[in-house]
């Protein structure tokens, strides 16, 4: 039975619990899942400095687990340094074990889903991520610009706020960010750019329907990076075998 370790590189245990619920709902019953929460370090990863710090806190505790799983998903929506750090570990290299992050998985999924004249965009947490993620998208695509990418809009909340903050405030800020993104043009795919947005797909869908109408809004695809990452690793592990 294939196995996937889903890694929450921040130290907020409740966020890991929400990831467990999402993965359970996917119904991949022929796969074994494990979940890891950073034992210390940032409660919320709000910039690349936090990402680097979280790597230092996580890696020593992950090393003993690398022989126990077939693949690894880093559940932070960023170009997280833990991903290359894991890929370079002997147990991963020798076992040809796939490693990905929810950012990479969601961009790959978006490129498959976006229509010929459409764009994809990202809704994220704090404003600092707008530039960071846009630069990461262009780096991932290997270009300095792309007509396929409409950009990044932020809620101004950090990951823990999105997960456990005031429901009314989270909803308002998600609504505002989604509106700004769909008003940019022909957005056919929206990426949920934070693991703390797990479970908010329907809220984003409601905004698309309200702003674009039933036909156009209903056609917008919403990509959850955790779902995309799990689906990618499912395929990668089975293809490897």
What is the predicted pLDDT for the residue at 118? 93
* Tens of pLDDT, residues 154-204: 999 888 777 676 788 888 999 999 999 998 888 999 999 988 887 889 889
DSSP label at 196? G
CATH number at residue 132: 3.40.50.1860
Question: Are 134 and 179 contained in the same domain?
Answer: yes
Do the beta carbons of residue 223 and residue 191 sit within 8 Å? yes
What is the predicted pLDDT for the residue at 159? 81
E strands within 16-175?
A: 32-37, 71-74, 99-101, 119-124, 149-154
CATH number at residue 84: 3.40.50.12500
Burial class (CB in 10 A: 0-12, 13-18, 19+), 176: middle
Question: Are 38 and 118 contained in the same domain?
Answer: no
Question: Are 217 and 231 contained in the same domain?
Answer: no
How many domains is the chain partitioned into structurally? 2
Residue 49 has pLDDT above 70, yes or no: yes
What is the predicted pLDDT for the residue at 241? 59
Average model confidence (pLDDT) for the chain? 92
Residue 48 has pLDDT above 70, yes or no: yes
Three-state secondary-structure class, residue 165: coil
Residue 86 has pLDDT above 90, yes or no: yes
What number is the average pLDDT over the span 136-153?
A: 93
Question: Are 72 and 159 contained in the same domain?
Answer: no
pLDDT: is 61 or 171 the higher one?
Answer: 61
Say if pTM beats, i.e. exceeds, 0.85. yes
* Tens of pLDDT, residues 4-24: 999 999 999 989 998 998 888
What number is the average pLDDT over the span 218-224?
A: 93
Question: Are 89 and 115 contained in the same domain?
Answer: no
pLDDT: is 129 or 199 the higher one?
Answer: 129
Residue 145 structural domain:
103-225
E strands within the chain?
A: 3-8, 32-37, 71-74, 99-101, 119-124, 149-154, 187-193, 221-224
- Confidence tier at 113 by pLDDT (50, 70, 90): very high
């Amino acid at each position: 039975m294939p196995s996937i370790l889903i890694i929450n590189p921040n130290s907020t245990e409740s966020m890991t619990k929400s990831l467990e619920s999402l993965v359970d709902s996917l119904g991949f019953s022929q796969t074994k899942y494990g979940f890891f929460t950073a034992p210390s370090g940032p409660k919320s990863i709000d910039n690349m400095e936090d990402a680097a710090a979280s790597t230092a806190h996580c890696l020593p505790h992950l090393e003993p687990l690398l022989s126990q799983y077939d693949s690894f998903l880093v559940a932070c929506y960023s170009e997280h340094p833990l991903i290359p750090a894991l890929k370079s570990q002997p147990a991963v290299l020798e076992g040809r074990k796939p490693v990905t992050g929810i950012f990479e998985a969601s961009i790959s999924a978006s490129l498959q889903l976006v229509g010929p004249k459409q764009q994809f965009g990202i809704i994220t947490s704090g404003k600092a991520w707008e530039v960071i993620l846009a630069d990461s998208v262009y780096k991932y695509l290997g270009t300095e610009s792309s007509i396929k990418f409409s950009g990044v809009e932020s809620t101004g909340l950090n990951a823990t706020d999105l997960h456990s903050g005031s429901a009314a405030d989270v909803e308002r800020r998600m609504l505002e960010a989604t509106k700004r993104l769909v008003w940019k043009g022909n957005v056919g795919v929206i990426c949920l750019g934070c693991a703390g947005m797990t479970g908010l797909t329907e809220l984003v869908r409601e905004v698309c329907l309200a702003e674009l109408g039933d036909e156009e809004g209903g056609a917008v695809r919403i990509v959850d990076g955790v779902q995309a990452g799990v689906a990618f690793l499912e395929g990668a592990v089975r293809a490897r075998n």
